[in-house]
Amino acid sequence: MTLRLERLCLCIPPRFCVNIRPQLATDDMPTFAPEQLAAWSDGAWTRAPAAPLTGVSINTRELRAGDLFVALRGTRTDGHAFVGDAFARGAAGAVVSAAFAASPPDDHPLLVVADPAHALRALAAGYRRTLRARIIAVTGSVGKTTVKELTADLLATLALTARSRGNFNNDLGVPLSLLAMEPDAAYGVFELGMNHPGELAPLCALVRPDVGIVTNVGAVHLAFFPSVGAIAEEKAEVLRALPPDGLAVLAADSEWFTVLRTAAQCRVVTVALHAAADYTGRPLPNRPRAFTVTERASGATVELENALPGEHVVRNALPAIALARDGGADWDAIRQTLRRYTPLPMRWEQRRLGGVEFINDAYNAGPLSMRAALAAFAQTPARGRKWLVLGGMRELGAATRAEHLALGADIARGAWAGLLAVGELGALIAAGAAAGGCAPEQVWTCPDCAAAAAELRRRLQPGDAVLVKASRGEQLERVIEHLTAELVSA
């Protein structure tokens, strides 16, 4: 077919900004006194800045005038090599190691510490101690970024709310997000991630959450965990970190509910699709975005509508709704906010090329999220045929082969026009689909994204729809980029 470019620009939500700071509700960013920073980091200034600092950065390309630049050593680069550049771009000070400070390039203000990475976390911990906000920590095997965004959106209807940017959820992203939080925010919603044992406890100690949300527990990161049960125990760290007067929001219909409930020594609010709960959701048939929620305390049942389709989106919305209602949000505000929700890039991001609808869900994938996306795509209306472009699910360890073959077998039971499986792991999905009964002419194995784009170009027709999904490392969004580039050069 001949594709015609109908829309080239991706829709980037305003809150997904290019700076390391999350987009917050106002421009009232925190300021830090030099002596405060020195005390928190256990460091000493070679020469203190003349004025308070207005932010924290680890990337000179994203640094703003007045920021404190933290020179981190990475696997490929050393931030100390960019200290001069940071000051040239307007940095008000820099956190450096003692070895670097021994021969500084000039007389700029340097905060000398034993380890800049440790100092970054210490700065965030120090700032956290000054905050009066109610801090919400969100973790889970899938859906945590969406739940974090929905929760922040709904709480923002009640009071000033900060959130971590995108999926800034690790030992760098979490402290940077904390250090960007407005001092007078009433709520702070932070995503906590992990892929190795022992990673969540330090993050919990840093944010000191008042509320914990565990979205779900599934077969992800099995390359680093012996079992899904071990993953559940790691996720439970967020609940163990809650104070006695805290709140946990948990899925009552989760296989791991008992494990998680036992870890929460505080009040628990439950949500569910398939069990009795404080907030029970029911997707409405033949209406992919509509659902009802029954609130046990009031007995009320209300109809709501998500901005995106799928049962998994209803499941993601329930913890956010429960927490908003616990804070006093009314149903009308919840209804309007859910309708306005805009997903972050590569989360069910829709664009049209030549009359073909592409759904870019290529941010990440695992067994749970793959099947959820397939179910939502199956319910999504399309004038023409539906195509799957799928890549590998990474970090599954010994379960890699079995999980990909099983996914392929599930795909064989669906009404798809065809499956384009990309890369070595994608070939396992194709093998599972073929073994499950897919006809040979319905399955194509493609070595890379360019080959998949070429196959699509030959087969797509106006009115068709295409789902693109894989783990982040597969970078499967390049399939759409190849098609777009062809249109631009044509």
Tell which residue, 284, 342, 276, has the closest CA to residue 314: 284
pLDDT tier at 195 (50, 70, 90 boundaries)? Answer: confident
Q: pLDDT value at position 99?
A: 86
pLDDT tier at 219 (50, 70, 90 boundaries)? Answer: confident
Q: Is the pLDDT of residue 7 over 70?
A: no
Residue pLDDT, tens place only, 45-69:
999 998 999 999 999 999 999 999 9
pTM across the whole model: 0.86
User: Which CATH architecture best describes the domain 349-489?
Assistant: Alpha-Beta Complex (3.90)
Q: Is the pLDDT of residue 5 over 60?
A: no
- Cα-Cα-Cα-Cα dihedral sign, residues 32, 35, 36, 41: positive
Q: pLDDT value at position 133?
A: 97
Q: What is the DSSP letter of 211?
A: E
CATH superfamily name and code, 34-119 = MurE/MurF, N-terminal domain (3.40.1390.10)
Q: What percent of the chain has pLDDT over 90?
A: 82
Rounded CA separation 485/464 (Å): 20
Q: Are 391 and 467 in contact (CB under 8 A)?
A: no
Q: pLDDT value at position 101?
A: 81
Q: Are 97 and 112 in contact (CB under 8 A)?
A: yes
Q: What is the DSSP letter of 158?
A: T
Q: Is the pLDDT of residue 367 over 90?
A: yes
Q: pLDDT value at position 13?
A: 32
Q: Is the pLDDT of residue 352 over 50?
A: yes
- The fold of the 131-340 domain, in CATH, is UDP-N-acetylmuramoyl-L-alanine:D-glutamate ligase (3.40.1190)
What are the structure tokens assigned to 232, written together? 């559940």
Q: pLDDT value at position 75?
A: 85
Rounded CA separation 150/113 (Å): 38
Q: pLDDT value at position 76?
A: 87
Phi, psi of 122 (to 5 degrees): -65, -40
Q: Is the pLDDT of residue 88 over 80?
A: yes
Tell which residue, 253, 264, 359, has the closest CA to residue 314: 253
Q: pLDDT value at position 22?
A: 36
User: 240: exposed, middle or buried (C-beta count within 10 Å: 0-12, 13-18, 19+)?
Assistant: middle
Residue pLDDT, tens place only, 434-481:
999 999 999 999 999 999 999 999 999 999 999 999 999 999 999 999
pLDDT tier at 223 (50, 70, 90 boundaries)? Answer: confident
Distance of alpha carbon 292 from the chain centroid: 25
Rounded CA separation 471/452 (Å): 16
Q: pLDDT value at position 21?
A: 33
Q: pLDDT value at position 106?
A: 67
Q: Where are the domains of the chain?
A: 34-119, 131-340, 349-489
Q: pLDDT value at position 20?
A: 32
DSSP, residue by residue, 323-337: HHHHHT--HHHHHHH
Q: What is the largest CA-CA distance in the chain?
A: 72
Calculate mean pLDDT across residues 262-269: 97
pLDDT tier at 142 (50, 70, 90 boundaries)? Answer: confident
Q: pLDDT value at position 489?
A: 56
Rounded CA separation 187/167 (Å): 18
DSSP, residue by residue, 179-192: HTS-TT-SEEEEE-
What are the structure tokens assigned to 314, written together? 């209803």
Q: Is the pLDDT of residue 188 over 60?
A: yes
pLDDT tier at 432 (50, 70, 90 boundaries)? Answer: very high
Calculate mean pLDDT across residues 276-305: 96
Residue pLDDT, tens place only, 112-126:
999 999 999 999 999
Q: pLDDT value at position 421?
A: 98
Q: Is the pLDDT of residue 216 over 70?
A: yes
Calculate mean pLDDT across residues 146-166: 95
Helices (H), 380-422: 400-412
Radius of gyration of the chain (CA): 24
